[in-house]
């Protein structure tokens, strides 16, 4: 398949618009599609949408669902003779990045649920983190996604995505949860912050992820846990204020009604 033509639109709430040449096909997560041209044919397949046997597809489906993706894949095919469009939208505020898998060695490891879509033939597998402390405290859990193939994969992450190159032996301290994706040659481990004072008062938690080169890493600026905490905090504060005010007004109304009814 020829190189994929695409355009990422929007600044913080992005979608990617892909131009499908005649005969081209892309896979997407069910529910990720935003719009497509009338003539694009949509099909749902178990697993990654590969043309393989039933049990391989079943196994692929289970692998996908373990990594936070859907059991099924949607396949968008252009069977017409003219180029057609299909667009996938990110499910949360953040950036969409296109990764050319061939140029990074064929494999990319991502956080759960990062895969949005890609060239047909891109597979989503399991990357099991075989290190207890990293699995427990690294913020990504034990299961990550291993995206492999030779085409383009669209991954999304919340917040802004930063691509950082690590030279051999170069290491980076990363807040747990900020890791979005990494090349498989990068070492991913968890280090204890080391100072009780820092861990309690510093607001960074007890552990920090450590990424050590060589290779590429992608970091996200707004991990779900931060977004969730700030939204939860805001909604709680708002809710409590509203409830108190409502109770006050209802109290006043009841008082007025009682006063009025006793006066006559």
Partner 1 sequence: MSEITGILHGPQLPDAGVPVRVQFLGDLLRIEGPRVEDVMAESLEVSVTGFNDDTLLLAWRNEDATHAVTIADAAAQRALVASAPESIARKLRGGRNAVRYHRGKWNVLLGALAACVLLIILVWWQSEAITEWIAGKVSHETEVAIGEHALAQIETESVLTQEGLAAKTLAEIGGRLTTGSRYQYRWYVSDDKEVNAYALPGGIIVVNAGLIAKAGSADELAGVLAHEIQHVEHRHTLQQMIHAAGWAAVLAVVLGDVSAITAIVVHQLGNLRNSRKLEAQADAEGMKALARAGIPVEGMPAMFRRLQSEEARIGDDTPGLLSSHPATAERIAELERLSKTLRCECRSLSYDWPAVQTAATAVAN
Site of interaction with partner 1 (CB under 8 A) = 103-105, 109, 127-131, 163, 165, 167-169, 182-188, 212-216
Question: If you count DSSP H runs as helices and E runs as strands, how many of each does the chain have, helices first?
Answer: 4, 19
Q: Choose between 88 and 154: whose C-beta lies nearer to partner 1.
A: 154
Comparing CA positions, the residue from 104, 97, 134 lying closest to residue 215 is: 104
Q: How far is Cα 6 from Cα 3, in angstroms, rounded to an integer?
A: 10
Strands (E), 200-263: 207-212, 215-220
Find the shortest distance in angstroms from Cβ 91 to partner 1: 25
Contact 108, 183 (CB under 8 A): yes
Structure tokens at 116: 């949005």
Q: Choose between 32 and 217: whose C-beta lies nearer to partner 1.
A: 217
Give the 3-state secondary structure of residue 39. Answer: coil
Find the shortest distance in angstroms from Cβ 190 to partner 1: 13
**Residue 35 forms beta bridges with which residues?**
87
Q: How far is Cα 92 from Cα 104, in angstroms, rounded to an integer?
A: 26
Q: Choose between 102 and 231: whose C-beta lies nearer to partner 1.
A: 102
Find the shortest distance in angstroms from Cβ 221 to partner 1: 20
Q: Choose between 26 and 127: whose C-beta lies nearer to partner 1.
A: 127
Q: Choose between 88 and 218: whose C-beta lies nearer to partner 1.
A: 218
Find the shortest distance in angstroms from Cβ 145 to partner 1: 12
Which distant-in-sequence residues (6+ apart) come within 8 Å of 5 by Cβ? 18, 19, 21
Q: Where are the alpha helices (DSSP H) in 89-168?
A: 132-137
Find the shortest distance in angstroms from Cβ 40 to partner 1: 32
Q: How far is Cα 92 from Cα 159, in angstroms, rounded to an integer?
A: 9
Q: Choose between 25 and 216: whose C-beta lies nearer to partner 1.
A: 216
């Amino acid at each position: 398949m020829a190189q994929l033509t695409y355009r990422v639109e929007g600044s913080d709430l992005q979608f990617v618009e892909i131009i499908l040449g005649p005969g081209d096909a892309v896979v997407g997560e069910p529910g990720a599609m935003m719009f497509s041209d009338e003539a694009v044919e949509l099909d749902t397949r178990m697993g990654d949408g590969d043309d393989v046997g039933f049990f391989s597809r079943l196994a692929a489906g289970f692998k996908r669902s373990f990594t936070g993706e859907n059991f099924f894949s949607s396949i968008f095919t252009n069977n017409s003779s003219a180029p057609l469009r299909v667009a996938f939208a990110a499910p949360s505020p953040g950036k969409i990045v296109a990764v050319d898998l061939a140029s990074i060695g064929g494999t990319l490891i991502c956080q759960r649920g990062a895969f949005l879509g890609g060239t047909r033939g891109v597979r989503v597998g399991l990357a099991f983190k075989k290190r207890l402390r990293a699995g427990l405290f690294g913020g990504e859990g034990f299961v990550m996604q291993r995206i492999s193939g030779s085409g383009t994969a669209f991954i999304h992450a919340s917040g802004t995505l930063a691509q950082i190159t690590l030279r051999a032996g170069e290491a980076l301290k990363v807040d747990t949860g900020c890791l979005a994706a990494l090349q498989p040659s990068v070492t991913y481990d968890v280090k204890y912050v080391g100072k009780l004072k820092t861990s309690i008062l510093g607001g960074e938690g007890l552990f920090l992820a450590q990424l050590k080169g060589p290779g590429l890493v992608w970091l996200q600026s707004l991990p779900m846990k931060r977004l969730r905490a700030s939204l939860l905090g805001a909604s709680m504060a708002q809710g409590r204020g509203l409830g108190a005010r409502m109770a006050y007004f209802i109290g006043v109304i009841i008082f007025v009604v009682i006063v009025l009814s006793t006066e006559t």
